[in-house]
Amino acid sequence: MSQPRTDLAPGRFPADFTWGTATAAYQIEGAVREDGRGVSIWDRFSHTPGKTHNGDTGDVACDHYHRWQGDIELMRRLHVNAYRFSIAWPRILPEGWGRVNPPGLDFYDRLVDGLLAAGITPWVTLYHWDLPQALEDRGGWPNPDTSKAFAEYADVVTRRLGDRVKHWITLNEPWVVAFLGYFTGEHAPGRKEPESYLPVVHNLLLAHGLAVPVIRENSRDSQVGITLNLTHAYPAGDSAEDEAAAKRLDGFMNRWFLDPLFTGGYPRDMIDVFGSWVPSFDESDLGVIGAPLDFLGVNYYSPSFVQHSEGNPPLHVEQVRVDGEYTDMGWLVYPQGLYDLLTRLHRDYSPAAIVITENGAAYPDEPPVEGRVHDPKRVEYYASHLDAAQRAIRDGVPLRGYFAWSLMDNFEWAFGYSKRFGLYYVDYETLERTIKDSGLWYSRVVAEGQLVP
Ligand SMILES: N#[N+]C[C@@H]1[C@@H](O)[C@H](O)[C@@H](O)[C@@H]2O[C@H]12
């Protein structure tokens, strides 16, 4: 059990803390038809009229595929000791399974070697939403064969990179993949099938569980985890109804994932809430899904304040907009939510380690003037959330690392290029990167290992 770190002065982080930035393949790479890459569901979705802001696509994005060496220099300027990126499944297996595309593996081989040469530890996310379209054409995540295809993909990648990559994240945000991709249709593949939501969640978790032993076999002595988008659910009022609503939202967003991963099964109360939506599955799946992990990756942006609703079945919950600061995504700035989430995870699930795999904020940054991009609100966001993280460490949470989202402005999914999260500003005409004040500030925090003014 992790012990309180009262030895740490306020604002100071452990000397061995992992400091990084994070990105994802489809959001930064571009080069979508280069070197044998296959089509992904986000290629198909973003090229479908009306699906993304302004019809934006990831065809070029930040052109990281050709600029990766310069981007490593951007990381060096931040003094980070780690970099979290995802591998594009369609670059490795263009049809999703079977035929391997060597130039795809070669690209990530070069990137990993370049990071290691720069003293930056690669943290690899195997799945950050860019499913090969060929697998979607065979049913996508509702088809349990896709879980097996993911394990095959994990095998190919970890056989090639597992000698040098020792930190693996199987999936990024399965809740988003399932709910936005197959329930609301806001994300690729854009399917609006509420009955598919829970089967997709199950198949994603099964894919994760099937991949864990494969990764461990091919990448000996590596750290393996999963990244979940987690929130902290607060009742908007002090009624028993609102308390119960907060518990249901917590069950929907958090416990439906955390329980099978860490406690051996889906939460009983939510099985009753979801009723007939709960898919039938082999009980043996739960043993696969519950494969022991070395860390839990947490993407935290904002909490949820909720109240009971007579509508919105079966959850009967509605979000409440409370007073406060909001980011350009319309997300409440509430660092206490990060502290409360971290301490809850430690108390209720006791993961061996927790890593904040994403935290950051979108604001409407102005283009550089005399080489500067002033983004004081983003600096404040990072400062307040890192303070919350440090308080959690002092109180005994085994928080081992923090990845700022994101290294640079990039393709923000259905929002296209309209939302800027980067520590570097990207001019999408020239693709020039310019460090923002938040990047300069973060580089000082990382260099000193403590919060700075
Ligand atoms: N929106 N937003 C910002 C960020 C998104 O850019 C990442 O790809 C996701 O993992 C997660 O949703 C968080």
Instruction: Give the β-pairing of 295-299 and 317-319.
Output: unpaired
Q: What percent of the chain has pLDDT over 70?
A: 100
Distance 61 CA to ligand 1 centre (A): 15
Q: What is the dihedral of CA 188, 190, 192, 194, to 10 degrees?
A: 0
Asked whether the beta carbons of 75 and 407 are under 8 A apart, the reply is yes
Residue that the structure tokens 């249709």 belong to = 185
Instruction: Tell me which amino acid residue 422 is.
Output: G
Ligand 1: nearest atom to the Cα of 406: 6
Question: What pLDDT is recorded for position 26?
Answer: 99
Q: Is 195 a catalytic residue?
A: no
**Average of pLDDT values for 92-117?**
98
The model's pTM: 0.98
- Asked whether the CA dihedral 100, 103, 105, 106 is positive or negative, the reply is positive
pLDDT band at 54 (very low <50, low <70, confident <90, very high): very high
Q: Kindly list the protein residues whose Cβ atom lies closer than 6 A to any atom of ligand 1.
A: 24, 27, 172-173, 299, 329, 358, 405, 412, 421
**Average of pLDDT values for 102-117?**
98
What is the longest distance spanned by two Cα atoms in the chain? 61
Ligand 1: nearest atom to the Cα of 24: 8
Among residues 358, 366, 380, 432, which one is catalytic?
Answer: 358
258-293: pLDDT as tens digits: 999 999 999 999 999 999 999 999 999 999 999 999
d(C-alpha 297, C-alpha 258), whole Å: 11
State both tokens at 94. 């263009």
Question: What pLDDT is recorded for position 1?
Answer: 61
Q: Is the pLDDT of residue 72 over 80?
A: yes
Among residues 29, 136, 173, 412, which one is catalytic?
Answer: 173
Strand ranges inside 265-347, DSSP E? 295-299, 304-308, 317-319
pLDDT band at 2 (very low <50, low <70, confident <90, very high): confident
Question: What pLDDT is recorded for position 295?
Answer: 99
Distance 244 CA to ligand 1 centre (A): 28
Q: Is 358 a catalytic residue?
A: yes
**Helix pair angle (145-161, 102-117), 10° resolution:** 50
307-340: pLDDT as tens digits: 999 999 999 999 999 999 999 999 999 999 999 9
Strand ranges inside 112-217, DSSP E? 121-127, 167-172
11-35: pLDDT as tens digits: 999 999 999 999 999 999 999 999 9
**Average of pLDDT values for 346-355?**
98
Indicate which residue's Cα is closest to atom 5 of ligand 1.
412
Which of 126, 227, 413, 415 to mutate to test ligand 1, by most ligand atoms within 8 A of the CB atom? 413
Q: Is the pLDDT of residue 299 over 70?
A: yes
Asked whether the beta carbons of 329 and 53 are under 8 A apart, the reply is no
Distance 231 CA to ligand 1 centre (A): 14
**Average of pLDDT values for 152-157?**
98
Q: Is the pLDDT of residue 430 over 90?
A: yes
d(C-alpha 229, C-alpha 356), whole Å: 10
Distance 300 CA to ligand 1 centre (A): 10
d(C-alpha 221, C-alpha 51), whole Å: 42
Q: Which long-range contacts (CB under 8 A, 24 or more apart) does 56-60 make?
A: 56/411, 56/416, 56/417, 56/418, 57/32, 57/411, 58/26, 58/27, 58/29, 58/30, 58/32, 58/411, 59/30, 59/32, 60/30, 60/431
**Sheet architecture: strand order including 233-235:** 233-235, 304-308, 317-319
Beta-carbon neighbour count of residue 23 at 10 Å? 26
State both tokens at 239. 């009624």
pLDDT band at 3 (very low <50, low <70, confident <90, very high): confident
pLDDT, averaged across the chain: 98
